[in-house]
Structure 1
Amino acid sequence: MEKLVSTDLPFSSSGKSLALAINGGSRVNDLRHLSFVYKTFNGVKQLHLGFHRDLRWHDWRGKYHCYEFNGIDPIVQETFAEYLEALAAANFGEECNISYSGVYEDDLRYFDGDMKYVDNGLGSGLTCATFVLAVMKAFGLQLVRAESWPRDREQDRRWLDWILGELRRS
């Protein structure tokens, strides 16, 4: 895994243009949210999956705590930031079909060569966190080893039950 450095102000260090941002979790049972933050010629942007078919792409608002990537070459970071811009443009707005699901399969392909989301069938989709994993993997960067994740945790089952209820209501 690449080393992440905590910062409240992204890209204060020279040469960096990619970070992960987290918010939430300040209270018991609070949900956390994960997103990309990246620097372009047009400023600092944020890209994240809000919920079912809700890709959010906007200027950085500073409401998250950032973790910059120290272990990824600055040129690769710039290239990945450009990739994020193109992926956002290909999937943003009325055309967004990125499903929300708590079931992530590391061996599936979630984005095609044109950076469009690939619907892998019933039950397939992404959360804010697995969106980050799937996008990085599509680019050729692996953030974590999915096989090392804990399985069958009670809190994960409770969360999945809650999410399924939210999806039914939406």
Structure 2
Amino acid sequence: MPFAELQKSRLKNGDVAVVLSHSRMGQGHAGLAYYDENQELRILHLSWHHDLKNELVSQVKECWVANSLKLKPYSLKRLHAYVMLVAKQNKLVNYGIDFSGIKNSFDPAGRYSPPKDSDGLTCATFPLAVMFGCAVFPINLETWPATEENRKWGEFVCRYLTETPTVTADHVESVRNHIQGLRLTPYELGGASLVNVKDWPASYNKVSPFAQVSKDQLGKSCPWPFIHSARREPQVAAMPKAAARQA
């Protein structure tokens, strides 16, 4: 099933969905949608460094699209419970770009407990790390290529981390040291959710065509001009006001 506007989607209690929204830099923003214990639909997403948001869909102004994960009932039930744990246990999740912490950032109780060599997560790797923490593996990260474009993106991230008052110089240096040209984009995460679960963990080559599909479906359901009226550009809510957000 393709992505559809979240507010009009058919998500039901117990579902977990990958959700996408726009960013002003055109890179997209990602998170997870789920129903909480009060049966209210929420979006859990890493907005920026130490800014994990768990927002009621009824209160957000941004346009989001959603694609529910097609897991077996037992796996979906476990993941839904785990997402609720992560949402309750954490607020101060580091923003960082390396891949080393994706597999082990969250412990069995849902607490953020990254490896020592991890600098943090992005808006796209955060949902993936949550899924990995619950033994759900949509993506084979070993197949992701390093690119010069992604290196430039890493420098962009460091520049705006430097301008964020709550980010320490040591953290910026750690992120800078992890610039290797590797990146999982929000659209690639969305693409992985469209791949048949029988093909998980999916390779980069398998995900790439679906990444474009997810981008196109976001544009169709949430036309680009919408972002000009958004109260926040996703992923970096704590950035300096002059900084445009980039996923």
Tell me if structure 2 keeps the 8 A contact 1:18–1:78. no
Q: 1:160 to 1:88 in 2, by over 3 A?
A: same
1:91 corresponds to which residue?
90
* Structure 2 match to 1:49: 46
Cα separation, 1, equivalents of 2:64 and 2:160:
24
Q: Secondary structure at the match of 1:128?
A: coil
Post-superposition CA distance 1:38-73 (Å, at most 9, x none): 124421111011111110001123621111223x02
Q: What residue number does 2:80 align with?
A: 81
| Equivalent residue, structure 1, for 2:152 | 158
Matched, 1:124 2:122: no
Contact 1:110 1:118 in 2 (8 A): yes
Indicate the SS of the match to 1:5.
Answer: coil
The answer to whether 1:169 aligns with 2:163 is: yes
How far apart are residue 121 of structure 1 and its match?
A: 3.4
Q: Displacement, 1:127?
A: 0.3
- Rounded to whole Å, the distance in 2 between the matches of 1:102 and 1:6 is 26
Distance in 1 between residues matched to 2:39 and 2:120, nearest whole Å: 30
Q: Per-residue deviation at 1:31? A: 2.6
Residues 14 and 80 in structure 2, CA contact (< 8 A), matched pair in contact too: no
Q: Which has the higher contact order (CA 8 A, sep 6+)?
A: 2
TM-score by length of 1: 0.81
Task: Tell me the residue number matched to 1:5.
Answer: 2
- Verify: 1:113 aligned to 2:124, yes or no: no
Distance 1:14 1:116 in 2: 26
Match of 1:69 in 2: 69
CA shift, 1:78, in A, is 3.3
Cα offset, 1:126, TM superposition: 0.4
When the two structures are aligned, how many residues end up with a matched partner?
159
**What is the percentage of aligned positions where both structures have the same residue?**
23
| TM-score in terms of structure 2 length | 0.58
Contact 1:11-1:17 within 8 A present in 2 as well = no
Q: Quote the RMSD (CA, aligned, Å).
A: 2.4
CA contact (8 A) 1:16 1:74 kept: no
Residue identity in the other structure for 2:161: L
Structure-2 residue corresponding to 1:22: 20
Q: Which amino acid aligns with 1:77?
A: L
Give the gaps of 5 or more residues in structure 1.
none
Rounded Cα–Cα distance in structure 2 between residues aligned with 1:114 and 1:103? 23
* Deviation, structure 1 residue 17: 1.0
Matched residue, 1:58: 55
- What displacement does 1:85 show? 1.2
Tell me the distance in 2 between the aligned counterparts of 1:108 and 1:12. 30
Q: CA distance change for structure 1 residues 149 and 106 in 2, over 3 Å: closer, same or farther? A: farther
- Cα gap change, 1:148/1:106 in structure 2, threshold over 3 Å: closer, same or farther? farther
Aligned to 1:31, which of 27, 30, 36?
27
- The whole-number CA distance in structure 1 between the counterparts of 2:133 and 2:45 is 15
- In structure 2, the gaps of 5 or more residues are 165-247
The aligned amino acid for 2:83 is L
* Rounded Cα–Cα distance in structure 1 between residues aligned with 2:150 and 2:11: 36
Question: Relative to 1, partners in 2 of residues 1:123 and 1:165: Cα closer, same or farther, differing over 3 Å?
Answer: farther
Q: Which has more strand, going by share of residues? A: 1
